[in-house]
């Protein structure tokens, strides 16, 4: 009988796992994707929606198209609980699904409610509700101090992932640069100073000195301020308040909220002390060998990046395929930070850095080429329903950056 592989979550990690399984297993296994959303969200496109008013449909594609393309099954439902001993998945509406292998790719909850005053006075870019909401706010924005930053990340202690306080500051960088363009075009730049804040001691703590200096220089050129070791306590109509007792006049607060793991996973007994899924470097759960985790919910995924989610999805698929008798080599978990921040006038800064993972690459690519790469990736990803560009394109990029 065919083995049943269930993937929970059709975002970057889940969709990458599915494509990889199709390539490795075809229809020799039964593959099922469960997600309560009808579409996959390409989050790196959301700053364009929030700051440039791009149509939200450019940042998502129908999940059923991606699943159908592979000939697999989509169940559009919310998972409420998992019983890892019985290998059962309990759905919110009452159904029960069995699995032989389970891949957890649920991402994380963006915990906006953890910030007092956020509902009325806080803004964000992290999903397809918040990004269009920020764009609507910007239409009536008359100027005033702008603050942008993220809430701290709480990691667990079962796996040896980097200890970072900020889960992902790329979007902070991108949004501040794009906002600068927005307020300049609107003629309110003088009355609207932008300040970035970080919960960590160092802004962009996940990259090396070269990249940090490069980003710092662009911030100086753009006149963007920086405050560090700041965790937001609350926002109101006039101020932003931090946990260290400081507060600043603020007309627009844009916050990446806490990346909080879903409670149903800890209630199912699957998580580490911080609520993330502990795995080895083949993405296999430390306690349940038939369970895998990829993407933001994985304790190994630090910082939280789509690039790392897809890498993990590919590894998980290879590991499962090997378990099921396919002769295949499991790729190594060699993460890197790859992030492209758009700026004004079709410019962008691409960051490629692996020094956090004891690598040697720590570089940036500035200008139109980086902008075009982001546009090219998004077009390819959406047009091909979540299929990643061929691996050789990243290999070529890395070779080029090494020589640069």
Q: What's the closest the beta carbon of residue 117 comes to ligand FAD, in angstroms?
A: 21
How many residues bind ligand FAD, per CB under 6 A?
A: 37
The residue whose two tokens read 């929970």 is: 8
Distances (CA, A) of 52 to 218, 343, 376: 20, 11, 18
* Residue 251 contacts ligand FAD per CB under 6 A: no
The residue whose two tokens read 């297993």 is: 25
Site string for ligand FAD, 350-379 (x = CB under 6 A): ------------------------------
Q: What's the closest the beta carbon of residue 17 comes to ligand FAD, in angstroms?
A: 9
* Residue 105 contacts ligand FAD per CB under 6 A: yes
Candidates 18, 146, 168, 252: give the one binding ligand FAD (CB under 6 A). 168
* Residue 173 contacts ligand FAD per CB under 6 A: no
* Residue 149 contacts ligand FAD per CB under 6 A: no
Mapped onto helix, strand or coil, the DSSP state of residue 250 is coil
- Residue 394 sits at φ, ψ, to 5 deg, of -70, -35
Q: What's the closest the beta carbon of residue 280 comes to ligand FAD, in angstroms?
A: 18
* Residue 122 contacts ligand FAD per CB under 6 A: no
* Residue 33 contacts ligand FAD per CB under 6 A: no
Q: Find the angle CA(90)-CA(93)-CA(96) to the nearest 5 degrees.
A: 30
* Residue 46 contacts ligand FAD per CB under 6 A: yes
Distances (CA, A) of 132 to 51, 52, 53, 128: 9, 10, 7, 7
* Maximum pairwise Cα distance, the chain: 68
* Residue 79 contacts ligand FAD per CB under 6 A: yes
Candidates 304, 318, 343, 385: give the one binding ligand FAD (CB under 6 A). 304
* Residue 35 contacts ligand FAD per CB under 6 A: yes
* Residue 34 contacts ligand FAD per CB under 6 A: yes
Nearer to ligand FAD, 169 or 200 (CB): 169
Residues 142 and 188 sit within 8 Å (Cβ to Cβ)? yes
Q: Find the angle CA(369)-CA(370)-CA(375) to the nearest 5 degrees.
A: 95
Hey, what are 98's tokens? 């069995």
* Residue 10 contacts ligand FAD per CB under 6 A: yes
* Residue 58 contacts ligand FAD per CB under 6 A: no
Hey, what are 151's tokens? 């809430």
Candidates 306, 319, 321, 373: give the one binding ligand FAD (CB under 6 A). 306
Residues 389 and 377 sit within 8 Å (Cβ to Cβ)? yes
* Residue 172 contacts ligand FAD per CB under 6 A: no
Count Cβ atoms below 10 Å from residue 41 Cβ, excluding itself.
21
Residues 353 and 211 sit within 8 Å (Cβ to Cβ)? yes
Point out which residues bind ligand FAD (CB under 6 A). Answer: 8-14, 34-37, 43-44, 46-47, 78-79, 105-107, 125-126, 168, 170-171, 262, 295-297, 304-307, 309, 338-340
């Amino acid at each position: 009988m065919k083995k049943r592989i269930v993937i929970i979550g059709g975002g970057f990690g889940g969709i990458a796992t599915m494509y990889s399984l199709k390539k490795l297993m075809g229809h020799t296994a039964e593959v099922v994707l469960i997600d309560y959303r009808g579409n996959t969200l390409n989050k790196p496109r959301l700053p364009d929606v929030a700051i440039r008013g791009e149509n939200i449909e450019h940042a998502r594609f129908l999940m059923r198209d991606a699943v159908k393309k592979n000939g697999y099954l989509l169940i559009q439902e919310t998972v409420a609980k998992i019983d890892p001993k019985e290998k059962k998945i309990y759905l919110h509406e009452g159904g029960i699904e069995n699995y032989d292998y389970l891949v957890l790719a649920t991402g994380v909850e963006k915990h906006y409610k953890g910030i007092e005053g956020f509902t009325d006075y806080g803004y964000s870019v992290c999903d397809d509700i918040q990004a269009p909401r920020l764009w609507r706010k910007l239409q009536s924005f008359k100027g005033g101090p702008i603050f942008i930053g993220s809430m701290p990340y709480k990691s667990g202690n079962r796996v040896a992932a980097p200890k970072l306080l900020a889960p992902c500051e790329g979007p902070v960088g991108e949004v501040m640069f794009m906002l600068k363009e927005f307020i300049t075009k609107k003629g309110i730049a003088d009355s609207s100073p932008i300040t970035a804040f970080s919960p960590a001691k160092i802004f962009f703590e996940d990259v090396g000195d070269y990249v940090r200096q490069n980003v710092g220089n662009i911030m100086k050129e753009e006149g963007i301020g920086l405050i560090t070791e700041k965790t937001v306590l609350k926002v109101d109509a006039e101020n932003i308040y931090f946990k260290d007792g400081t507060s600043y006049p603020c007309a627009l607060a844009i916050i990446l909220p806490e990346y909080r793991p879903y409670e149903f996973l800890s209630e199912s007994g699957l998580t580490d002390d911080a609520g993330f899924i502990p795995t080895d470097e083949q993405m296999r759960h430390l306690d349940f060998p038939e369970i895998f985790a990829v993407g933001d919910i994985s304790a190994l995924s630090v910082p939280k990046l789509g690039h790392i989610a897809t890498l993990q999805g590919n590894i998980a698929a290879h590991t499962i395929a090997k378990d099921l008798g396919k002769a295949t080599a499991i790729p190594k978990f060699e993460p890197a930070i790859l992030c492209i921040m758009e700026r004004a006038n079709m410019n962008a800064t691409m960051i490629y850095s692996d020094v956090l993972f004891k690598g040697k690459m720590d570089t940036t690519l500035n200008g139109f080429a980086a902008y075009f790469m982001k546009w090219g990736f998004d077009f390819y990803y959406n047009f091909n329903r979540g299929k990643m560009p061929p691996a050789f394109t990243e290999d070529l990029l890395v070779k080029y950056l090494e020589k640069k």
